[in-house]
Structure 1
Amino acid sequence: MLKLLRFPLLGTRLALKIVFLWLFFGMLGGLIPANTATPYATGTTDVLLVGGKIHYDILLPADPQTRRTLRFTQPAGIPTDHPGVEWFLIGWGAEQFYTSAGTYADVKAGDVLRAITGDNAVLRVDALGELHENAAIRRLSLTHVQYNSLLASISNSFSRDTFGKAQVLDHPGFTQSDRFFHAKGHFSALRTCNVWLGDQLRNAGVRFGVWTPTTWSFGLSLKEHQGV
């Protein structure tokens, strides 16, 4: 009987060690910076970072440049030219998990397992008006050069057909103004939504942690390297 019990115990211990190492290296990844050079500021554009329990979204200001960049999402129903839009929300995640429901309570265990082991990536785009006060919102100021690079990197994350058209998921979304799009790459425990967003900031030349798989490590990197 004792021999039979060893195998589940060993499996549990191994799983706990893997989780511990994942969290530990996530912390280190948040503390170790990329893009250590100080950028030459020629004006700034503010973006907002909105954190939840396990996921960060980025909010882009609905200025003329952003509206032009995201206009390719308009055929899918994103109101990029609507005058009431003040922010565009962009989020990246695992297809089955991200699109399963609007609340964590509705997420199934199978969706979580598939996300951890690997799933197709999707992008969620939403158009927002005036924002309500939210303690989880962090403001990050980018130079114009950094913001141009950020827009290019995010735009390049969309999967497109041979005609350059963004590929929309057959999914109703969570609001009247959002849609899901197929994205490049795959989601896994090593490349989470927070890792993707960290990639976008690093691609823009922002000083940020080299690997931020959790909201905690992402927030740690923001505080350590950006002071926000």
Structure 2
Amino acid sequence: MTKTLSCLLRGMIGLAIVLICYLAAVFLLPYFKTGGTQAHGKQEVTLYLRSNGVHTDIVVPVRSADYDWAIVFPGRHTRNGQTERWLAIGWGDKNFYLNTPTWADLTVKTAIKAVFGLSSSAVHVTYYADMKDCNRCAELTVSREQYRSLIRYIRASLQWSKGHTVWIPTDSVYGQNDAFYEAVGHYHLLNTCNTWANRALKVMGVDAAVWTVSEQGIFLHYPLMQPVMR
């Protein structure tokens, strides 16, 4: 019995140490910045970081000299069947995306799967006509070389079949202008939707947190735009 209690105590102490280290990383590492020090040519491509307060999307121009995202994410996959000028792209836990439209819908099963990487992932895209009224957005401008690095990163995050993305037909879309696609990788405590977005910034060589699981860690390094007042 004494040996069992000793093992249990050591296990609890070990778990507490791991938890403390994780929380320290969560709260401290976002304040340390990486990237943004190397010149990559003329800055001419405007992008946005868009947040709903929890999750961060990378917003790209739908069509440019370097890429046409409407080919990758056809407008016909949305309810209104249309494309727009801007496209917000985010990565996350597939089960969470499809089964938790609001926090009130979150279940213990869904949370456990997301935390421990027990579900597959998905990419969520949303078309926007403009970004003027976004109340939690940051603007950044990158070179075409940097933007091409982002394109490769996003493409590598997607599953492909015969040269096409794998669309997820579902009624769990959030509106008339969005769609879901099968992705690669697993969401877990160390790799969240915001970690994915922060890694996208690193890939481009622009300012980014050393590591973050939260959207606050990203926006520490990017000032929020002021939405247009009407």
TM-score (norm 1): 0.80
Structure 1 residue 97, shift from structure 2 partner: 0.8
Give the Cα separation in 1 of the matches to 2:103 and 2:16.
23
Letter in 2 for 1:21: C
| Distance verdict in 2 for CA 1:109–1:65, change over 3 Å | farther
> CA 1:73 to 1:40, structure 2 compared with 1: closer, same or farther past 3 Å?
closer
Mapped pair 1:105 → 2:104: yes
For residue 32 of structure 2, what is the aligned residue in structure 1?
A: 32
The within-5 A match list for 1:1-228 is 18-35=18-35, 37-65=37-65, 68-74=68-74, 77=77, 85-118=84-117, 119-131=119-131, 133-161=133-161, 163-172=162-171, 173-220=173-220, 222-223=221-222
Q: Is the 8 A contact 1:95 1:122 kept in 2?
A: yes
Match for residue 228 of structure 2?
A: none
Amino acid at match of 2:112: L
How far has the Cα of 1:51 moved from its partner?
1.8
Query: What's the CA shift string for 1:70-123, capped at 9, x where partnerless?
Result: 4122186259x957x121011111011111132222222211111001021110
Q: Tell me how far 1:210 sits from its aligned partner.
A: 2.4
Question: Contact 2:38/2:205 (CA < 8 Å) preserved in 1?
Answer: no
Distance in 2, matches of 1:146 and 1:113, equals 36
| CA contact 1:43–1:143 (8 Å) conserved in 2 | yes
Task: Name stretches of at least 5 consecutive residues in structure 1 with no aligned partner.
Answer: none
Give the drift of 1:28.
3.5
Once the two structures are TM-superposed, the CA of residue 59 in structure 1 deviates from its matched residue by 1.4
SS of the counterpart of 1:99? helix
Return closer, same or farther for 1:130/1:110 CA change in 2, 3 Å cut-off: same
| 2:227 matched residue in structure 1 | none
Report the alpha carbon displacement of residue 18 of structure 1 after superposing the two structures with TM. Answer: 4.9
Shift of 1:40: 3.7
Contact 1:29 1:209 in 2 (8 A): yes
**Contact (CA 8 Å) 1:55, 1:194: kept in 2 or not?**
yes
CA distance in 2, matches of 1:132, 1:105: 29
Deviations 1:203-222 (A, max 9, x none): 122232221111222222x2
Superposed CA RMSD in Å reads: 2.9
Q: Equivalent residue of 1:187, what SS?
A: coil
Matched pairs, number: 214
Identity %: 22
**Which has the higher mean CA deviation after the structures are superposed, 181-190 or 39-48?**
39-48
Letter in 2 for 1:71: I
Query: Secondary structure of 2:145's match?
Result: helix
Supply the AA of the counterpart residue of 2:182.
Answer: H
